[in-house]
Amino acid sequence: MTKKELALEIIKRLKKEYPDAGCTLDYNQAWKLLVSVRLAAQCTDARVNVVVQKLYAKFPDVKSLAEADVDAIEEIVRPCGLGRSKARDINACMKILWEQYGGNVPDDFDALLKLPGVGRKSANLIMGDVFGKPAIVTDTHCIRLVNRMGLVDGIKDPKKVEMELWKLIPPEEGSDFCHRLVYHGRDVCTARTKPYCDKCCLNDICAGNGR
Ligand code: SF4
């Protein structure tokens, strides 16, 4: 089986296993996903989903976060870790959205990358989830799983993994595929324990089975 054939088979099986897999960060407006992805660095999505409720109770829109005192944002987001730098980025990012984009999130990958605190992973997430465009989100689950599965060989750098996956994954499948990897990485192909290969739907085609 070529890597491309393997990728298509994995996509097919994960679709069946996790038909409704979507983004695990809660949001109902594009700018809120930008806030959440910044807070999610080194923090669980579950905690971010709780913290943002308090944040939006005090700062309900782009303008109020753009005009907010960084200290006031930090006080609320501190439970997510890296409070100071996350608060600074959120404030600076919302300022740019407010001043340059009329309070909207740009639907352009390069423009997203220029926003404070937004890297390739976040920009891809926004492109895929908010704008329905092709996206490959190489988070920690994605990188661990595609290495174990044999879709990439010993590559840990997120951008290099992304570039390899673009060659294998049909563009329209990328965003959902990466969401499904998160589910599979949490439930079955876990990081901290030995992966549960015996109950994995990929165990007859995965290079990492039993290792
Ligand atoms: S077979 Fe094992 S290593 Fe491969 S994806 Fe499943 S749990 Fe992970």
pLDDT band at 210 (very low <50, low <70, confident <90, very high): confident
Tell me the per-residue pLDDT of 6-53, one tens digit each, with 9 for 90 and over.
999 999 999 999 999 889 999 999 999 999 999 999 999 999 999 999
Mark whether 58 is an active-site residue.
no
Whether residue 194 contacts residue 171, with contact meaning beta carbons closer than 8 Å, is answered with no
pLDDT band at 158 (very low <50, low <70, confident <90, very high): very high
Distance 196 CA to ligand 1 centre (A): 7
Tell me the per-residue pLDDT of 190-205, one tens digit each, with 9 for 90 and over.
998 789 999 999 999 9
Helix-helix angle 83-100:30-39, to 10 degrees = 160
Q: For residue 133, what are the CA distances in angstroms to 15, 74, 161, 175, 201?
A: 19, 32, 19, 8, 28
**Complete DSSP assignment for 74-106:** HHHHGGGS-HHHHHHHHHHHHHHHHHHSTTPPP
Closest protein CA for atom 2 of ligand 1: 197
Distance 132 CA to ligand 1 centre (A): 29
Q: Which atom of ligand 1 is nearest to the CA of 201?
A: 6
Tell me the per-residue pLDDT of 121-154, one tens digit each, with 9 for 90 and over.
999 999 999 999 999 999 999 999 999 999 999 9
Can you say whether the dihedral through the CA atoms of 94, 91, 120, 187 is positive or negative?
negative
Q: For residue 14, what are the CA distances in angstroms to 55, 179, 187?
A: 35, 10, 12
Instruction: Give the other-Cβ count within 10 Å of 63's Cβ.
Output: 14
Q: Does the beta carbon of 149 lie inside 6 Å of ligand 1? A: yes
Tell me the per-residue pLDDT of 53-82, one tens digit each, with 9 for 90 and over.
999 999 999 999 999 999 999 999 999 999
Q: Which atom of ligand 1 is nearest to the CA of 208?
A: 3
pLDDT band at 209 (very low <50, low <70, confident <90, very high): confident
Q: Quote the DSSP letter at residue 107.
A: S
Distance 211 CA to ligand 1 centre (A): 9
Q: Does the beta carbon of 208 lie inside 6 Å of ligand 1? A: yes
Q: Which helix (H) or strand (E) holds 9?
A: helix 3-17
Mark whether 139 is an active-site residue.
yes
Q: Quote the DSSP letter at residue 197.
A: G
